Amino acid sequence: MKIGYYPGSFDPITFGHLDIIERGAKLFDKLYISISVNPNKKTMFTPEERVQLVRDVIYYLPNVEVVTSSILTVEHCKMLGASHILRGLRAVTDYDYEFQITNFNRRLSSEIDTVFLMTEGQNSYLSSSSVRELAYFNGDVTPFVPLVVAEAIKQKIKNSTLR
Ligand code: ADP
């Protein structure tokens, strides 16, 4: 059984992530989406909220499971029996960073390899951070994220301005 591991912040999940997940789900028998938990990183959504949103979005993909991680990616892969890390590539600007972490992970564990899927053209400019930015300025995020995520963002912004 081929098991893939797709790590990221998913703060929040966008149509760009979803494209990679749907295609990854066809490549692997099982695909874990791993949501990073880093208490030092300021995020819009808590790990629990990010997990719930991803679960709500991928409900129709039976071989995809959402987990959280606060340990080294390669260690988590080994724990879950994953042989491959899955990453998405947008523009060339992603390349440098991905090249670095791929080789670093390879150095840490040579048996775990990384595969890349190139994004759909229309998602190549799409990132969680631009969605967050757009939302803070009251822009319409619905072209970029699933409806359930757009609703959660709306609530989040509303609650934060109430404080
Ligand atoms: P990280 O903090 O690890 O970069 P992200 O949630 O931003 O976490 O991204 C997780 C993975 O999803 C990365 O491989 C990233 O390149 C990929 N990704 C993010 N947005 C897109 C997109 N629009 N199209 C394709 N891949 C994407």
Segment 40-73, tens digit of pLDDT: 889 999 999 999 999 999 999 999 999 999 999 9
Q: Report yes or no: 4 and 82 within 8 Å, Cβ to Cβ.
A: yes
What is the pLDDT, as a whole number, of residue 161? 65
Domains in the chain, number: 1
| Per-residue pLDDT tens digits for 134-159 | 999 999 999 999 999 999 999 999 88
What is the pLDDT, as a whole number, of residue 158? 86
CATH number at residue 118: 3.40.50.620
Q: Is residue 163 assigned to a domain?
A: no
pTM of the model: 0.94
Q: Which residues are catalytic?
A: 17, 41, 90, 128
User: Hey, what amino acid is at 11?
Assistant: D
User: Hey, what amino acid is at 147?
Assistant: L
The residues, ordered by sequence, that sit 6+ positions from 134 with a Cβ below 8 Å of its Cβ are: 140, 141, 144
What is the pLDDT, as a whole number, of residue 98? 93
Identify the domain containing residue 102 by its residue range: 3-158
For ligand 1, whether the C-beta of 73 sits within 6 Å is no
Ligand 1 pocket: which of 19, 90, 95, 124 to mutate (most atoms within 8 A of CB): 90
Share of the chain above pLDDT 70, in %: 98
- CA distances, 81 to each of 6, 19, 31, 96 (Å): 13, 24, 11, 28
What is the pLDDT, as a whole number, of residue 159? 84
For ligand 1, whether the C-beta of 85 sits within 6 Å is no
Which tokens is 111 given? 């048996």
Q: Is residue 79 assigned to a domain?
A: yes
Residue 24 has pLDDT above 80, yes or no: yes
Q: Is residue 116 assigned to a domain?
A: yes
Tell me the CA–centroid distance for residue 17 and ligand 1, in Å. Answer: 6
